[in-house]
Amino acid sequence: MKILDIAFKDMLRSFRSGFAIIMMFGLPLLITGLFYLAFGGIINGDNDQLAPTKVQVVNLDQTQGVAAGNSLVTFLQSQELTKLIAVTVSPDEASARQAVDSQQAGVAVIIPANFSNTIMDSATGAATAVTLYQDPTLRLGPQIVRELIGHFLDHYNGSRIAGGVLAAQAGKYGVTLDNTASQVAGLEYSQWAQTQGAQPNQLLDLQAPASQSANDKPLTSLIGSVMAGMMLFFVFYTGADTAETIVKEEEEGTLARLFTTPTSRPLILAGKFVSVVITLLIQVVTLVVASALLFGINWGAPLPVGFMTVGTVVLAAGFGLLLISFVKTTRQSGPVIGGALAITGMLGGLMTTGFNNIPSFFATINLLTPQGWVLKGWTSTLGGGGVGDIIGPWLVSIVLGLALFGVATLIFRRRFA
């Protein structure tokens, strides 16, 4: 009970400090909140609606009979494509281009005058081109229009090939087919191909995943990673800052008076160590729950999250106590705590959790620090990993934390012997 009494006294002192409360809870949530506000409108995964691309179509093909230009316009205006493109027929090429230049349309489709004759002429194999004039600031919309027109032209290219093959085969038997017969054969092939291939409504099937967890969305994934890094940085800071009460009480003389009481010195030190552990446990649990409520972060299944909470607390407490065991005065504690935690935090990857494409060797450097191991475990839980996925980082955190705790205990015992 004396251990708990001492721990409660130190905890009460910590939680009465406004500065300590801000460092434990305020700053991690504030920094993460700033990322949330800054990037929420850019990569928010909640907006799954794609606005139709405005398309101006100019049909300069006035061929009689098999009019491929009219067929292309009809295809683009089909009901199945209205969710992807909004088509307006323009009277001339200049007005269509002007609509794109003034951003009243995203793409202008210009069908050339010789379109039908060229595309159905199996004898000459002449080339023709549908011109696409697009807004240079757009990417997805023009690409969709290009793919749709490509699908349409594939049928007519197949028709021309079919007509050419028919004419070649007829020539082997001394039969000469006129151009009209080849075009009719090609048209029949095109009609058959359209019944066999994809229909317009099957060209693009835009679907959301059947089941999507919160952390599968880009914004939530980023915020979860940032919050993990900020939480670990300030948890390790709290571990050292809470342990600093030993140095403060030594300077104030209250620790020496405690040593004169019937309570043994190991028991007094144990009480102070327990206060560090309980304070960190409260901090981690509060930050996990608060960030889940504020930012929608799904930290993972309860069991692996519980394992990593314990591992984080043990390692942060052991590392904080070890740092303070080398400090003689409170004037030394600031540079020691700030410098050591800044360096190990950066090497441990806590400052780069929101970045992609980090060099692979940096992952190895992360594991040279205590923070890197707990970050690896929390990254696994955020990704939906189970106990099997975090057992390695968790074991390292526990073993390393207890080892650092043991070394710090020996140093303090010698110091206050």
Query: Does residue 247 share a domain with residue 170?
Result: no
Q: What would the two tokens of residue 39 be?
A: 């990037």
**What pLDDT, on the 0 to 100 scale, is given for residue 189?**
54
Residue in the block written with tokens 């004898």: 123
Query: Does residue 221 share a domain with residue 167?
Result: no
Query: Does residue 143 share a domain with residue 17?
Result: no
Calpha distance 326→121 (Å, rounded): 89
- Per the structure, the count of domains in the chain is 2
- Which segments of the chain have a pLDDT < 50? 42-48, 122-127, 197-214
Query: Does residue 161 share a domain with residue 279?
Result: no
Q: What would the two tokens of residue 273 be?
A: 């160590």
- Find the CATH number of the domain harbouring 163: 3.40.190
Has residue 209 been placed in a domain? no
Query: Does residue 232 share a domain with residue 181?
Result: no
According to DSSP H, which parts of 80-217 are helical? Answer: 93-101, 115-120, 140-172, 179-196
- pLDDT one-digit tens code per residue, 397-407: 999 999 999 99
Residue in the block written with tokens 């890197």: 372
Has residue 166 been placed in a domain? yes
Calpha distance 65→80 (Å, rounded): 26
**What pLDDT, on the 0 to 100 scale, is given for residue 51?**
78
Of 369, 373, 372, 362, the C-alpha closest to 395 is 373
Choosing from 202, 228, 259, the residue where a domain stops is: 202
| Sheet (strand 107-111) strand order | 85-89, 53-59, 107-111, 131-134
The beta strand positions in 175-239, using DSSP E, are none
**What pLDDT, on the 0 to 100 scale, is given for residue 387?**
93
Q: What would the two tokens of residue 106 be?
A: 């995203």
Query: Does residue 155 share a domain with residue 290?
Result: no
**What pLDDT, on the 0 to 100 scale, is given for residue 50?**
63
Of 161, 100, 88, 174, the C-alpha closest to 133 is 100
Query: Does residue 383 share a domain with residue 243?
Result: yes
Query: Does residue 109 share a domain with residue 14?
Result: no
Domain of 401?
Answer: 2-44+215-415
Has residue 314 been placed in a domain? yes
Has residue 294 been placed in a domain? yes
Whole-number average pLDDT of the chain = 81
Of 212, 222, 213, 215, the C-alpha closest to 38 is 222
